[in-house]
Amino acid sequence: MTPEGWERLLAGAGAVLAVVAHPDDESFGLGAVLAAMAASGLDVGLVCFTHGGASTLGLEPARPGGLQQLRAEELASAARVLGLSRVELLDYPDGGLEGVHLDELAGVVEKSATAMAAGAILVFDEGGITGHPDHRQATRAGLAAAARVGIPALAWAITETVASALNVEFGSTFVGRGDAEIQVWLKVDRRIQKEAISCHRSQAEGNRVLWRRLELSGSVEPLRLLGPQAADAPSPDQRPLANS
């Protein structure tokens, strides 16, 4: 896809709905892409399926509302930084999203996408980037909803090079994509993403894998275009760069 094709896709979308599993996924993962979309004038919304209450980080048992309330507040702050117009934070089980019927989750996304007249849905790559079961299920729900509504699905990915480096350094389970699987190389400015990440204080402090991934990724985010539009993908040696 040429930069002009990318711009036409986004201009035609008008609004984009991002779908994630946990508070902080929108910043740690999609942050640079969401900030670029919002800065371009798109109406950008978010569906987050869980409050992230199963996290073992940032526990503040004496705090009113506990970790779930804290993470909801962190998400609201990050959403303002990223320029999101709306956030739907749901209360499905953190760590148990794959136990929820896909039709139910897809229906929630479909309803939100229809309400905001979304022209595209943004998800984590197939496999959920790290293989996290909740991430995988959130992606499946987003893709199913996009198919129901008949709109494109964009998947944020990481490259094989970045994934391999992280897995060697940290023993992680990132899954990367080769050049032939990526349709858009989006130039990004990470300053807004990093500000949004700082809103998630309970999860970001000491998160060495996150900061190393951003360092390795530099100023480019790979995106995959899923659905019929993927047939227009360029050959790998074209590697077009879309300006944010």
DSSP string, 112-132: HHHHTT-SEEEEEPTTTTT--
pLDDT for res 121: 97
Query: Is 59 inside any structural domain?
Result: no
Q: Does 82 reside within a domain?
A: yes
CATH of the domain at 143: 3.40.50.10320
pLDDT at 234: 45
31/79 Cα distance (integer angstroms):
9
Q: What is the pLDDT of residues 99-109, one digit of tens each?
A: 999 999 999 99
> How far is C-alpha 56 from the chain's CA centre?
21
Give CA separation, 138 vs 150, 155, 178, in Å: 18, 12, 23
Instruction: Enter the tokens of residue 111.
Output: 């309803």
Q: How far apart are CA 147 and CA 153, in angstroms?
A: 8
> Which residues form the domain of 29?
3-53+66-242
Residue 58 lies in a domain: no
Burial label, 67 (beta-carbon count in 10 A; 0-12, 13-18, 19+): buried
Q: Is residue 170 part of a domain?
A: yes
Question: Number of structural domains, the chain?
Answer: 1
- Give residue-wise pLDDT tens across range 137-188: 999 999 999 999 999 999 999 999 999 999 999 999 999 999 999 999 999 9
pLDDT (tens, 9 = 90+) of the chain, 244 residues, equals 555 556 666 667 789 999 999 999 999 999 999 999 999 999 999 999 998 876 656 555 545 567 888 889 999 999 999 999 999 999 999 999 999 999 999 999 999 999 999 999 999 999 889 989 999 999 999 999 999 999 999 999 999 999 999 999 999 999 999 999 999 999 999 999 999 999 998 887 889 999 999 999 999 999 999 865 554 444 444 444 455 4
Degrees to nearest 5, angle at CA 190 with 186 and 195? 145
The answer to the question of residue 60 being in a domain is no
